[in-house]
Amino acid sequence: MEETCDPVFARVDKLLALLTKSKLLHILYLLNSKSSSMRFSDIKKKVDSSSTTVTRRLKELEDNGLVTRTIHTTMPVSVTYELTEDAQFLAPTIQSMYDWIVDRDVQFL
Find out whether 94 and 29 touch, Cβ atoms under 8 Å: yes
> What torsion do the CA atoms of 93, 86, 20, 53 make, to the nearest 10 degrees?
-130
Q: Parse the chain into domains and list their residue ranges.
A: 22-95
Strand-strand pairing, 78-83 and 67-72: antiparallel
Q: Which CATH number fits domain 22-95: 2.30.42.10, 1.10.10.10, 3.40.50.9100, 3.90.1010.10?
A: 1.10.10.10
Q: Is the pTM of this model over 0.95?
A: no
Q: What is the pLDDT of residues 6-23, one digit of tens each?
A: 889 999 999 999 999 999
Q: What is the pLDDT of residues 44-97, one digit of tens each?
A: 999 999 999 999 999 999 999 999 999 999 999 999 999 999 999 999 998 898
DSSP alpha helices (H): ranges in the chain? Answer: 8-19, 24-33, 40-47, 51-63, 85-104
